[in-house]
Amino acid sequence: MFDLTTEALIPLAAAARLVPPGRNGKRCHLSTILRWIMTGAKAPDGTVVRLEGLRIGGRWTTSRQALQRFAERLTRRLDGPAPAGAHTPARRGRAAERAGAELENMGI
């Protein structure tokens, strides 16, 4: 949760305008911001990350800083080691070969 004394609240419509356009130049919709608050978005490591938001007087709000933290938690660090269990093409190939051998042993 963010601190009301240090972060300025912005309405979700303003937060949606801060998000860069996506596919085909479409802007982020207000409902997307609300979904990020309510259910979150999946990070590269599989965890669910939620945008920090507050409901005040029947209206949802967030902050620029909360959007920044949300984006940082969703972005995989490229300068660090690959996440554990990352499936490289070679690893996927070996797994497919093992699965094929198991199916052959089963007679399938």
Q: What is the pLDDT of residue 81?
A: 63
Q: Residue 101 falls within a domain, yes or no?
A: yes
Alpha-carbon Rg for the chain in angstroms: 20
Q: Residue 2 falls within a domain, yes or no?
A: no
Q: Residue 71 falls within a domain, yes or no?
A: yes
Split at pLDDT 50, 70, 90, the class of 107 is confident
Q: Tell me the pLDDT tens digit for each residue of 1-55.
A: 777 788 999 999 999 999 999 889 999 999 999 999 999 999 888 889 999 999 9
pTM to 2 decimal places: 0.70
Domain assignment of residue 29, given as a range: 9-106
User: Which residues, 6+ apart, have CB-to-CB distance to 63 below 8 Å?
Assistant: 2, 7, 8, 9, 10, 52
Report the number of distinct structural domains present in the chain.
1
